[in-house]
Amino acid sequence: MSNADRRREREELCELLAARGVSDRRVLAAIRSVPRERFLPPELQPAAYDNNALAIGEDQTISQPLMVALMTQQLKLTGAETVLEVGTGSGYQAAILAELAAQVVTIERLPGLAERAEKTLRELGYKNIEFRIGDGTLGCAEAAPFDGIIVTAGAPDVPAPLYRQLREGGRLVIPVGDQGLQILKTVTREPQGPVIEEAGGCRFVPLIGDAGWTRPE
Ligand code: SAH
């Protein structure tokens, strides 16, 4: 596929995202500048700019571009923030965050995926991403507090450690529900306690860990 074709496909994807509620121009610009094909195995690269989740190995997926954009938009990033991502996966969402925030910490429980994502993101030149391997439901206490936390796997409930690691006014975006279907929740840490906003239904792979699911169903 030629570069011109890729550019046109990326442009069409951004038009679709804008039509489906992505209005933050910085988020659209980030989607336009990150080469999603680089986060995919070769045989799936032709499908990089379809609005679909795709398999990345180890039973995991790179999220659908619309979900990446809507979840990122919920964080209301201006460029100064420190953000935690739980579920590095392919590394694509981490790249989008790195375009929009000052510092990104990303945690993945599967070392194979974490290593591949780190390699891709280093090759693309990102210098503001820190990589961790472990149970992200516990957050990352030594890098806390965070202005934003994004969980890219479906949780049975909002993990308490993640809420505790938010700065006051910070936002946590997380799919919450059963393993088949979740609702996207945005939890803002206010002085009086959590304020929760709910958006539409979504379907993510399970968040597995201490404050998540014990195993896939
Ligand atoms: N953000 C990713 C989406 C990956 S899918 C991307 O842009 O490609 C969700 C990922 O969450 C999977 O890789 C899965 O292994 C990981 N995951 C599940 N439970 C986790 C946990 N407790 N801590 C860290 N990562 C977890």
- The domains of the chain are located at 3-202
pTM of the predicted protein model = 0.97
Active site residue 63: yes
Q: Is the CB of 186 under 6 A from ligand 1?
A: no
Distance (Å, whole) CA 21 – CA 62: 20
Distance (Å, whole) CA 38 – CA 92: 9
Q: What is the mean pLDDT of residues 16-40?
A: 97
Atom of ligand 1 nearest to the CA of 63: 3
pLDDT tens, position by position, 127-152:
999 999 999 999 999 999 999 999 99
Q: Is the CB of 95 under 6 A from ligand 1?
A: no
Mark out the alpha helices in the chain (DSSP H runs).
Answer: 3-19, 25-33, 65-74, 92-100, 111-123, 160-164
Spacing, Cα 53 to ligand 1 middle (Å): 13
**Class for domain 3-202, per CATH?**
alpha beta
